[in-house]
Amino acid sequence: MTDVTAMTATQIAGLVATGAASAVEVTQAHLDRIAAVDGRVNAFLHVDTEGALAAARDIDARRAAGEELGPLAGVPVAVKDVLTTKGVPTTVGSKILEGWRPPYDSTIVERLRAAGTVMLGKTNMDEFAMGSSTEYSAYGPSRNPWDTDRIPGGSGGGSAAALAAYEAPLAIGSDTGGSIRQPGAVTGTVGAKPTYGGTSRYGLVAFSSSLDTPGPCARTVLDAALLHAAIGGHDPRDSTSIPAPVPDVVAAAKLGATGDLSGVRLGIVTEFGGEGAEPGVMATFREAVDTLTKLGAEIVEISCPHFRYALPAYYLIAPSECSSNLARFDGVRFGLRTGDDGNRSLEEVMSLTREAGFGPEVKRRIMLGTYALSSGYYDAYYGQAQKVRTLITRDFTAAFERVDALISPTTPFVAFPLGARTSDPYQMYLADLFTIPSNLYGGPGISVPCGLSEGLPVGLQVMAPTMADDRMYRVAAALESAVGTFTPPAL
């Protein structure tokens, strides 16, 4: 049998469905790959060897019994450590939850199991999903398989690195300001942020509840679409879940793969015209635009005048919600408690616990949010940011009256060296310059590899209207059919 770790999820599912390979064989091959390379990549915080093999044996038994299995049955998947997994450690990349084993599964993990996928383990991330490099993980950074001295993106850098290192064919991420798309871009993999409310937040450890969106990561657009279809859809346990079916993203990916985009109108955002972006990234993006034109797409330029305020608005809204959400880490119900010597008060123990359990970026954002929400500053900061959010939404709505989707580079720069942006937090924030607008608006976005700049991957982002996730898959799959997929040098 050829090396299954080099295969797509679609190919693996085909092998398992026909009996050419067992789910156990496929799972063991990926566990072996993790054992061989993860010392250099650090994509995983926890590898659930026993759980994965048990799940794989269950799939093989059900197949042997003649049971009808789903399109991803027997395919291994890596899950970002932001989602609860019953009995399996969930840290959110933080010391404050070190050793915590949740008593329940998140909806996404439940649906992964129902789809017959095999969870390999939990992937590394910036603490509480706050960061763009995994350098804010309390457990050390993950490394980019393209160059292990460089960042794999963040916050979901572990999931993206696991894909690029062939440790898993599928992975789950979560995207609050770009945490699926930016790691996808810098590792040469595919990452999709669904429409907000299109995937359930039940069991997703909350960072910014009006923005947090779990979603699929893969090495091909079709694989991402299959995973999206498996995890998406209404969940009564999430009050912001949209009670409507997931758009047919799999059909859209297959349609796009024919390489025909005639009749599709795409808009290039004028405000993303190069300011703050590396010349090599812009050059690669422009070549991809030429490719899309050759595939039949009509390209127009569209001004979205308020997009330049998306980053500042985001860094008021997200920290404000974070300061409220992270109040639950109080050393009482779960996780770390420190300084409880029998004499100190609850409040003192709480302050010592949070000081010891949170890392610097989380502390900065909690304090920033506390500031933006305090009386006297509320209107000028949080209130004003919410109004800017309305204007950004109006920019999107106006743009989608003229075009089917918007396109841009996913990130302003290729993977940067470890340590290059940690001393100045605002420099790290700039990594999400092009991804944040979709989060504020709530619409879907996907990053698909479009080429290399100085030997490192560049991603193209497709942004679509809310609940039109299928459109971005069509465009992304068409581009992929023309430019191919990108494989990093051997580790």
Please give the positions annotated as active site: 80, 155, 179
Site for other proteins in 127-166 (CB under 8 A): none
Minimum CB distance to other proteins smaller for 102 or for 177 = 102
Site string for other proteins, 428-447 (x = CB under 8 A): -x----------xxxx----
CB atoms under 10 Å from CB of 290, counted, come to 10
Near other proteins in 410-429, by CB under 8 A = 424-426, 429
Assess 89 for contact with other proteins (CB under 8 A): no
User: CA–CA separation, 174 vs 167, rounded Å?
Assistant: 19
Q: Which pair of tokens denotes residue 19?
A: 């009996």
Subset of residues 275 to 294 that bind other proteins, contact rule: CB under 8 A: none
- Give me the least distance between CB of 318 and other proteins, in Å please: 11
Which residues in 319-352 are b (16+ Cβ under 10 Å) and which e? bbbbbbbbeebbbeebbbbbeeeeeeeeeebbeb
Minimum CB separation from other proteins for residue 102, in Å? 7
Q: Which amino acid is at 28?
A: Q
Rounded-to-integer distance, Cα 261 and Cα 282, Å: 22
Q: Minimum distance between the CB of residue 31 and other proteins, rounded to whole angstroms?
A: 27
Stretch that binds other proteins, among 49-57, 124-132, 160-168, 348-356 (CB under 8 A): 348-356
Q: Which of residues 97-126 bind other proteins (CB under 8 A)?
A: 100-104
Is 269 in contact with 304 (CB distance < 8 Å)? yes
CB of 244 to other proteins, least distance (A): 11
CA-CA distance, 92 to 128, in Å (whole number)?
5
Comparing CB distances to other proteins, the nearer of 197 and 449 is: 197
Please report whether residue 385 would count as binding other proteins according to CB under 8 A. yes
- Contact call for residue 346 and other proteins (CB under 8 A): yes
Cis bond leading into 155, ω under 30°?
yes
**With binding defined as CB under 8 A, does residue 337 bind other proteins?**
yes
Taking CB under 8 A as the criterion, which residues in 229-248 touch other proteins?
Answer: 236, 239-240, 242
* Sole window of 22-30, 276-284, 354-362, 407-415 interacting with other proteins (rule: CB under 8 A): 354-362
* By the rule CB under 8 A, 328 interacts with other proteins: no
CA distance 26 to 75: 8
Nearest-5° Cα angle at 140, 456 to 75: 65
Q: Which of 162, 163, 288, 388 binds other proteins (CB under 8 A)?
A: 388
Q: Give the separation between CA 21 and CA 266, rounded to whole angstroms.
A: 42
Secondary structure in 3-state letters for 390-458: HHHHHHHHHHCCCCCEEEEECCCCCCCECCCCCCCHHHHHHHHCCCHHHHHHCCCEEEEEEEEECCEEE
Rounded (5°) CA angle 151-153-156? 125
CA distance 334 to 97: 7
Q: Could you tell me the smallest distance in angstroms from the CB atom of residue 345 to other proteins?
A: 6
Measured from the CB atom, is 258 or 397 closer to other proteins? 397
CB of 101 to other proteins, least distance (A): 7
Q: How far is the CB of 381 from other proteins (least distance, A)?
A: 7
The interface with other proteins within residues 291-320 (CB under 8 A) comprises 306, 309, 312-313, 315-316
By CB under 8 A, tell whether 16 contacts other proteins: no
What is the C-alpha to C-alpha distance for residues 192 and 215, in angstroms, rounded to an integer? 6
Using DSSP's 3-state secondary structure scheme, residue 287 falls into: helix
